[in-house]
Amino acid sequence: MPAPDMHRALRPLGALDLDRAAALHGEAFTPLGERGWTRQDMAELLASPGVAGLLIQIDGADVGMAICRVAADESELVTIAVRPAERRRGTGRALLAAVLDHVRAAGARTLFLEVAADNPAARTLYEQVGFRDVGSRPAYFRRGDRPAVDAFVMRLDFG
């Protein structure tokens, strides 16, 4: 549970945040066996059409980030990450809510995402918010020396 006096703030992920956002992404994803993104990866992605990033801070410290893409009435959650030490305090849910606000305001009526079959934490979060499985991609996520893992494609409609 978050502390009652905790101050959580959300803001757009900007050019000055790229190093910190890349570090946060790596910290969140390398334990899963995925490659963390570099500053350059982030910069290129954020320069693509329809892409926006969000940074979430608690008491002024970066704790999470998300990147989404909107194309006409469809959108995609490209990534979402919360620092391991800060999890289970509602930050992931708050970030996802902010992504939904953003894509809806940008004209989307659907949000898609891909989640690895070996990631029950993320799947539970998405199911709680109302996402449903609409497909799968066999051996989609690489896991270094281990076999690749299937992805579930999930979708949320908000008309």
Ligand X SMILES: CC(C)(COP(=O)(O)OP(=O)(O)OC[C@H]1O[C@@H](n2cnc3c(N)ncnc32)[C@H](O)[C@@H]1OP(=O)(O)O)[C@@H](O)C(=O)NCCC(=O)NCCS
Of 83 and 107, the one with the shorter C-beta distance to ligand X is 83
CB of 80 to ligand X, least distance (A): 5
Q: Which of 34, 76, 86, 126 is catalytic?
A: 126
Is position 134 an interface residue for ligand X (rule: CB under 6 A)? no
3-class SS of residue 14: coil
Of 54 and 80, the one with the shorter C-beta distance to ligand X is 80
Stretch 111-130: interaction string toward ligand X, x if CB under 6 A: ----x---xxxx-xx--x--
126 is catalytic: yes
Q: Which residue in this structure is represented by tokens 């959300």?
A: 10
The CA-based diameter of the chain, rounded to the nearest angstrom, is: 44
CB atoms within 10 A of CB 128: 11
**Any long-range contacts for 119-122 (C-beta under 8 Å, 24+ apart)?**
119/32, 121/87, 122/80, 122/92
Of 39 and 87, the one with the shorter C-beta distance to ligand X is 87
Among the listed residues 90, 98, 148, 155, the single contact to ligand X using CB under 6 A: 90
Q: Give the helix ranges, DSSP H, for the chain.
A: 18-29, 39-46, 91-105, 120-129
Number of residues that bind ligand X (CB under 6 A): 20
For residues 10 and 57, give the distance between their C-alpha atoms in angstroms, rounded to a whole number.
6
Among the listed residues 28, 78, 103, 111, the single contact to ligand X using CB under 6 A: 28
140 is catalytic: no
CB atoms within 10 A of CB 9: 10
Active-site annotation, residues: 114, 126
Q: Contact positions toward ligand X, by CB under 6 A?
A: 28-29, 80-82, 87-93, 115, 119-122, 124-125, 128
